[in-house]
Amino acid sequence: MKKLLIGLFASLSISSFAAATTSVVISTASMSNMLGTATGSALVTQIILTAPANNTASIKLIDSVTNILAYTNSAYATIGSYATNYITSYTNFFGSVNSFTNIALVDYSNYFAAATVNYPTMVTLTAATSSSIVMSAQQLYFNNGIWATNLGSGNATLTLNYSKP
């Protein structure tokens, strides 16, 4: 029974990923969403970059939600606490000084300003004129989506083999 359950869970986990291939021609100084209308995470297993005749192709694969490659975290504050000794001293009517040591809880605030953060660049590839680069057996996990930019001097043909949960 135990082996049957283990086999069932293994088959469910393997079949939960749908394999796909996409190929896009990206013009110079532009971006393309490699997943099309689909968004979310993907596991890239193979990348093929092809450069045209008389031009080089240079691409970056970015793990981004949109074609805007930076986002801003809002400002926030946190509250911290620590315990310290709190000493109270007083003099009574007869001139005796009395001191009491107590534990006091002190609260403080930390303020953090808003910050701009760039989405991570997962891969940067450059193919020479009239050539192709093939990266096989890859395990590149994209959490947000796959956007490709072309920084080369000509149109780049990019093909991805990926699986999507």
The whole-angstrom separation of Cα 22 and Cα 30 is 17
Q: What is the enclosing helix (H) or strand (E) of 11?
A: helix 2-15
CA atoms of 164 and 61, how far apart (whole Å) = 17
Residue 37 clears pLDDT 80, i.e. is over it: no
Structure tokens that stand for 37 in this block: 């209308």
Which of 145, 147, 148, 149 lies closest to 164 in space, CA to CA? 145
Cα–Cα distances (Å) from 162 to 46, 116, 120, 122, 134, in that order, read 7, 30, 18, 14, 14
Q: What is the mean pLDDT of residues 28-36?
A: 87
Write down the architecture of domain 17-69+119-164 according to CATH.
Answer: Sandwich (2.60)
CA–CA dist 131, 23 (Å, integer): 16
pTM of the model: 0.66
Write out pLDDT tens, residues 76-89.
999 999 999 989 89
Q: What ranges do the domains of the chain cover?
A: 17-69+119-164, 76-112
For the chain, give the mean pLDDT.
Answer: 85
What's residue 8's pLDDT?
A: 44
